């Protein structure tokens, strides 16, 4: 099977509450898209907002996420 793109992609998992999952699933269905697409869009928007906010403040993001 050929790769989808030349850029590296990483798989991750996240645990959602039942309410979060239902809302994400509804958004995916409304956009005729996958749940993964909705989550990637959300991550992109969050990162853009945090990047703009941290550049304004000159802050570093908190180190609360573990990478395995």
DSSP state of 40: H
Structural domain total, the chain = 1
No. of helices (H) and no. of strands (E), the chain = 2, 0
Asked if residue 23 lies in contact with residue 42, where contact means CB atoms within 8 angstroms, the answer is no
Q: Would the pTM of this model clear 0.95, i.e. be above it? A: no
Q: Is there a domain that residue 8 lies in? A: no
Q: What is the CATH number of the domain that holds 45?
A: 1.10.1220
Q: Is there a domain that residue 32 lies in? A: yes
Q: Is there a domain that residue 14 lies in? A: no
Q: Is there a domain that residue 42 lies in? A: yes
Q: Is there a domain that residue 66 lies in? A: no
Asked if residue 16 lies in contact with residue 24, where contact means CB atoms within 8 angstroms, the answer is yes
C-alpha torsion sign, points 22, 44, 64, 52: negative
Q: Residue 43 sits in which domain range? A: 21-52
- Report pLDDT digits (tens) over 17-43: 999 999 999 999 999 999 999 999 999
């Amino acid at each position: 099977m050929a790769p989808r793109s030349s850029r590296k992609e990483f798989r991750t998992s996240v645990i959602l509450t039942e309410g979060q999952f239902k809302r994400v699933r509804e958004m995916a269905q409304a956009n005729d898209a996958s749940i993964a697409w909705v989550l990637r869009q959300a991550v992109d928007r969050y990162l853009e907002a945090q990047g703009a906010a941290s550049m304004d403040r000159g802050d570093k993001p908190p180190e609360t996420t573990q990478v395995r």
